[in-house]
Amino acid sequence: MKIRSGFVSNSSTSSFLIYGVYLDAHPDLDVISQIESIPGFEVIHPEYGWYIGRNPQSIRDDETGKEFKESVSRILSEKLGKTVACSYMEYAWYNG
């Protein structure tokens, strides 16, 4: 299982953009592993919480934006065992 913890880069700036949810509580690591195995999904874990979602760059050519958002919400709700409200989340960190 790969969990991105913090930001590691050769540059002093790191960032991400996903459509999904933010959890401040520690999720079940088996569930995290299942989510990460789904193509396009990412788990980003800085020191203070968990960003879980799908990268918009993974939208397929035959998939609409609405289908993309609905599938992310459905998959995360199923995997996390509760209805979740998804949104676009972006974070950038400059270390310099």
How far from 65 is each of 24, 28, 39, 54, 88, CA to CA, in Å? Answer: 27, 29, 17, 12, 12
Residue-wise pLDDT for 2-39, tens only, equals 555 555 555 556 678 899 999 988 889 999 999 999 99
User: Which pLDDT belongs to residue 47?
Assistant: 75
CA distance 69 to 94: 29
Average pLDDT of the chain to the nearest whole number:
85
Domain-by-domain residue ranges, the chain?
4-94
Residue-wise pLDDT for 48-70, tens only, equals 889 999 999 999 999 999 999 99
4, 6, 12, 16: CA torsion to nearest 10: 60
Angle between helices 29-36 and 65-80 (to 10 degrees): 150
User: Which pLDDT belongs to residue 4?
Assistant: 55
User: Which pLDDT belongs to residue 90?
Assistant: 87
* Short-list 58, 78, 95, 35, CA closest to 44: 35
CA distance 74 to 10: 35
Model-level pTM greater than 0.85? Answer: no
